[in-house]
Structure 1
């Protein structure tokens, strides 16, 4: 149902990505102030130091999801500016670290009301029974988009020699990843940053070793 692509070299796709981010981060959730992002486009200083990925519907080619991988630069990584960490980051001086950021899924494919998870605290269990078929179908599609985008991030990281990811996540996204055996390590307390979020670290070697044991189907999907 979905196609995933690196988007950096296509100006039209990048504009669509910025507009989707505006809808999600400004219009729908209020994480960013609309007046700070004129013309319905949400962008920041890290975009020029990031690799961007996009998810499209196969039937009509419409953009329905995006994420970016921020690379090290003179700007640093945003998580280190907004979160207090419980680890010594100097331990990664010989590693290449990127930051996962600006995950945005079209409202059409996201869960709404009390079943929302990606941008909220995920108090409601993801495996909950007795939910409508329509909600289960949206959940399945949303999860497929998240996984497809993370697969793009993994492939890009292999090519660039990136060994670790930082990410600032809502509890709901953490639970979604944990459910499929991708278990980020929380490395600091929650902060109010685009909602209540906590900083996480993902060691790609450890993640893939754990996936190989616990979820071999997903492991081979990522490796193929």
Structure 2
């Protein structure tokens, strides 16, 4: 049955009007992150065995070394998506344990400038709590026509969070179909190895955060405006009133950014970022 016109989502509605990305820096919010992963990886995709996670929360050894983000709908408050960025201080990246990388592919990149994007999860099942006893009605889903919008919002979050911490490049391990989707919306992927069997054949890529941001901004004025609103890229869960604060262990001091020149549209030099300057990140990246 078609939706009533007043209920039909507007394709022109801004991402930030519809969704909020939250950095899971409390134990309660990290549990939400794990529940979303369980729903997508165990219930929908069957990538993982549900019996391995009797509490209904999918996790692995990289969670302790990652920034975890969750997405909720502003109107309903329902949790609908998640993503994770494994940070440079991890002993290894998940992709490195698969031995599919080309030797020497990242010799020009310092380790502290590397991260890995993983556990990209968007709930697709309507009313997921009906089929997942570990969820309640506080979890929702994303309709197919909004998936690209949510993905763009997640990419902006990774770009902003990564660049704030000196991370310039991120590994991703994706299927050919997902790589085509990412490239179609403007993500720049560089092949850095051979496809390997990991829940289906997947290939390793390196994504330059600045290069990708520039490519995305060139695609449309809408995406350009999305990245210009860097202040909205994510919110710390610990500042929200409805979740108790449990601090997430933080890595050591951020490395000095130094001076660097980058190509258009980031044509001028950038300076070290501080938390109070995230609001200025749009101008630092020459997107305003």
User: TM-score, structure 2 length as denominator?
Assistant: 0.63
Aligned to 2:248: none
Is there any run of 5+ residues in structure 1 with no aligned partner, and where? Answer: 110-136
Structure number, greater radius of gyration:
2
Q: 2: distance between equivalents of 1:82 and 1:27?
A: 24
Aligned to 1:200: 205
Q: 2: distance between equivalents of 1:142 and 1:211?
A: 16
Q: Which structure has greater strand proportion? A: 1
Question: Is 1:22 the counterpart of 2:38 in the alignment?
Answer: yes
Q: How does 1:5-154 map to 2 (within 5 A)?
A: 5-9=22-26, 11-86=27-102, 88=104, 89-93=106-110, 96-108=113-125, 138-154=143-159
Q: Is the deviation greater in 150-159 or in 205-214?
A: 205-214
Q: Is the deviation greater in 43-52 or in 83-92?
A: 83-92
Match of 1:187 among 192, 209, 229: 192
In structure 2, the residue corresponding to 1:107 is in which secondary structure? coil
Is there any run of 5+ residues in structure 2 with no aligned partner, and where? Answer: 1-17, 127-141, 230-288
Aligned-residue offset at 1:214? 4.1
In structure 2, the residue corresponding to 1:156 is in which secondary structure? helix
Match of 2:168 among 147, 150, 163: 163
- The question of whether the paired residues in 2 share the 8 Å contact of 1:53 and 1:66 is answered with yes
User: TM-score, structure 1 length as denominator?
Assistant: 0.79
- The question of whether the paired residues in 2 share the 8 Å contact of 1:83 and 1:199 is answered with no
- The question of whether the paired residues in 2 share the 8 Å contact of 1:95 and 1:164 is answered with no
Q: 2: distance between equivalents of 1:44 and 1:94?
A: 22
Residues matched between the structures, number: 196
Aligned-residue offset at 1:34? 2.3
Aligned to 1:123: none
Q: Is the deviation greater in 44-53 or in 74-83?
A: 74-83
Runs (4+) of structure 1 exceeding 6 A deviation are: none
- The question of whether the paired residues in 2 share the 8 Å contact of 1:180 and 1:215 is answered with no
Q: Which structure has greater helix proportion? A: 1
Q: Deviations over 1:99-155 (max 9, x none)?
A: 00101111237xxxxxxxxxxxxxxxxxxxxxxxxxxx9332111111111111111
Q: 2: distance between equivalents of 1:22 and 1:164?
A: 27
Q: 2: distance between equivalents of 1:208 and 1:25?
A: 28
